Structure 1
């Protein structure tokens, strides 16, 4: 599996790292995990610096359409930071354009540390929905 993710409900943070060749099934599985964990409002970091793909343009657009459908179903979407080297930007630019249409903060970075700092900045963290009472009490006891 070339996609590795962590869903941190306490920090409301979803992190994805690519390592190898990513195909459509991998992306669908990742999105299903995010939706299943009710993580759409979380801040998201997608690091594609070590990944590659040979997905067709049609498959890439399908990913964008799926994400757009999720934006219609649930209005609250957390900030998204995408980390890519210049040579991979063109390959997924249409998907990035579709993702940018959502009403949420989004930026593309070349450096993962800068992306994390942006996602952890007060304006971005301040846009997170409040934790549910059960999550808040478990966070207080940790």
Structure 2
């Protein structure tokens, strides 16, 4: 699986990294792991700079729908995403779905800046 993550319950922090091709099923597995660990309210740091997405437009919309459903059932913590400019343009819909939640969210091109910003966000 090209998605790797750590869920730190003591610090209420989720850290994820992607490498290579990420499929629809990979993305859904990540969301299910967050929900199953009751970590939706945790602060999240996701480094997607090395991702090579393989999802179709319909699959991206289905991931968006799943994310919005998570927002309806639980509070969600601050989110720092690290990606390239090209990725943010390509995944504008998905980022829009992430931004609909009532939580701090910011996109970075530097992992160091993302970590610094996320450290300033209070755990939920």
The answer to whether the superposition gives a TM-score over 0.5 is yes
Q: Distance in 1 between matches of 2:72 and 2:114?
A: 26
**CA displacement, residues 22-80 of structure 1 (integer Å, 9 cap, x when unaligned):** 00111111111110110001000111001111211111111111010111111x21000
Q: TM-score, normalised on structure 1?
A: 0.85
Q: Distance in 2 between matches of 1:6 and 1:113?
A: 18
SS of equivalent to 2:49: coil
Counterpart for residue 28 of structure 1? 28
Looking at structure 1, the residues matched to 103 and 116 of structure 2 have their Cα atoms a distance apart, in angstroms, of 17
Report the equivalent of 1:112: 111
| Counterpart-to-counterpart distance in 2, 1:28 and 1:59 | 10
d(CA) in 1 for partners of 2:88 and 2:52?
11
Which protein is richer in strand relative to its size? 2
Report the equivalent of 1:8: 8
Aligned length: 124
Task: Identify the structure with bigger relative contact order (alpha carbons < 8 Å, sequence gap 6+).
Answer: 2
- Look up the match of 1:99: 98
Distance in 1 between residues matched to 2:92 and 2:117, nearest whole Å:
21
SS at match of 2:93: helix
User: In the aligned structure 1, how far is the partner of 2:91 from the partner of 2:46?
Assistant: 13
- Give structure 1 regions of 4+ aligned residues with deviation exceeding 3 angstroms: none
Which blocks of at least 5 consecutive residues in structure 2 are unaligned? none
